[in-house]
Amino acid sequence: MLEIAGLHTGYGETVIIRGLDLKVAEGRVLAVLGRNGAGKTTTLKAIMGLLPANKGAILFAGEDITRLHSYEIARRGAAYVPETRDIFQSLSVRENLELAARLPGVIGQAPEWTYERVLDFFPKLGARLDNGGNQLSGGEQQMLAIARALLMNPRLLILDEPTEGLAPIIIKQIFDKLQELKRSGLTMVLVEQNFGFATALADDVVIIGRGRIVWQGTPSEIRASREQQSRWLGV
């Protein structure tokens, strides 16, 4: 589904990612772990065309998307839920969802996610339709951000720190919803500091350190390796 080869990227003259190679198989969930500042968010932004690739290539469903604009990548089926959620704070829940529902769909794909379906999926949002984005709790904002991404009818869902700042009971609710999406066959890339959350959801795990992949394997393997956890994650 997604393949990154020899990626170099960063911010201006500051290079963060140095020769990163990464593969995400269709229908699987990949957890991307690493310490703060390792380059996890930088990698996601490069995938979505929000940062330029100085070197290397990014392939999505066999197509080279390295030089495409963000909206072109979205039209090909990649949806991004950023760490900051980026909902429209001054708009209501209804308006946030309606705006997303009006966007052009994925090229050559019939829509599966509709306005009505995301409200069935996140019933809490249905009860808050007239509330502004700035009136929502952190958990409700995260649900809205995911719902908005689903309205893009993605083939690949990219999530950056979906549990950050959330209470344990809300984290459990978000986990259950992402498990539902996983069971539906949706391919996902998950950046997450919550080690238990990430390894419980993922099929595959990679760790970024020093701007490249320094470890890869299964959730059970990383859970069993205290050495790798201590070396690269500080767990």
pLDDT in tens, 83-92: 989 899 999 9
How far, in whole angstroms, is CA 75 from its chain's centroid?
A: 16
The residue with tokens 């890869």 is 216
Q: Which CATH class is domain 2-86+153-233?
A: alpha beta
Q: Are 152 and 79 in contact (CB under 8 A)?
A: yes
pLDDT at residue 104, rounded to an integer: 72
Give the pLDDT confidence score for residue 111 in this predicted structure.
73
Residue 105 has pLDDT above 70, yes or no: no
Angle subtended by helix axes 138-150 and 168-183, to nearest 10 = 10
Span of 108-117, 118-127, 202-211 with lowest mean pLDDT:
108-117
Average pLDDT over residues 164-176: 95
- DSSP conformation class of 136: S
Q: What is the dihedral of CA 63, 180, 33, 13, to 10 degrees?
A: 40
pLDDT at position 174:
96
Q: Where are the domains of the chain?
A: 2-86+153-233
Burial class (CB in 10 A: 0-12, 13-18, 19+), 138: middle
**pLDDT classification of 108: cutoffs 50, 70, 90:** low
In this structure, are residues 146 and 188 in contact, taking their beta carbons and an 8 Å threshold?
Answer: no
Q: What is the pLDDT of residues 123-140, one digit of tens each?
A: 999 999 999 999 999 999
Confidence (pTM):
0.94
State residue 1's pLDDT score: 95
State the Cα–Cα distance between residues 185 and 165, nearest whole angstrom.
Answer: 28
pLDDT digits (tens, 9 = 90+) for 14-52: 999 999 999 999 999 999 999 999 999 999 999 999 999
Instruction: Give the mean pLDDT of 162-169.
Output: 94
3 state DSSP class of 107: coil
* CB neighbourhood size of 234 (10 A): 10
